[in-house]
Structure 1
Amino acid sequence: MEEFLSFIADILEVDKNTLTLETSQDDVETWDSLMQLRLLGEIEAKYGVMIPMEQISTIKKLNDFYQYIKES
């Protein structure tokens, strides 16, 4: 989980210590709709998971992304 948060912090360009799995889009200024798509692509590439495009709008917190990684 710590490695995941570090990875996400680099993408979002924020301090890792400001992120938890409960961090949502509303908590991070740089996390807009374009960043949502970038996070999707980066996570799929790094962790070898497939997140269905129809699910992207339901992802609101970092934990939502993390669940796909845990399930793979």
Structure 2
Amino acid sequence: MKRLCSLVAETLGIDANAVGPKTGPGNPPKWDSLAHIQLVAVIEETYGVQMSTEEIVNLQCVSDIATLLQEKGASID
């Protein structure tokens, strides 16, 4: 999950140490609705997956993203 946390941090422009499994929209404040869509685009490109609108809306934290990526067969580390 370290790679995923680093990707989230880089996309949001925050310190990687500030990102953990429970990090999600609104925490940190830079993770707003626009950042959420940007993050989804980066994750889809990086991991070679496609997310449905329902999946995107249901992502509440980094742990949810990791679970979804694993369900889609992507290696998160």
TM-score by length of 1: 0.89
Distance in 2, matches of 1:58 and 1:68, equals: 10
The aligned runs of 1:23-38 (5 Å cut-off) are 23-38=23-38
When the two chains are superposed, the root-mean-square deviation of aligned CA atoms in Å is 1.1
Which one has the bigger helix percentage?
A: 1
Task: Return structure 1 stretches of 4+ with deviation > 4 angstroms.
Answer: none
Larger relative CO (CA 8 A, sep 6+): 1 or 2? 2
Alignment match, 2:48: 48
In the alignment, residue 21 of structure 1 is paired with which amino acid? P
In the alignment, residue 19 of structure 1 is paired with which amino acid? V
- Superposition deviation, residue 60 in structure 1: 1.1
Asked if the contact 1:49/1:68 (under 8 Å) is kept, the reply is no
- Superposition deviation, residue 25 in structure 1: 1.4
Asked if the contact 1:22/1:63 (under 8 Å) is kept, the reply is yes
Q: Number of paired residues?
A: 72
- Superposition deviation, residue 54 in structure 1: 2.0
Give me the identity figure in percent: 29
- Superposition deviation, residue 36 in structure 1: 0.9
1:60 aligns with 2:60: yes
1:11 aligns with 2:11: yes
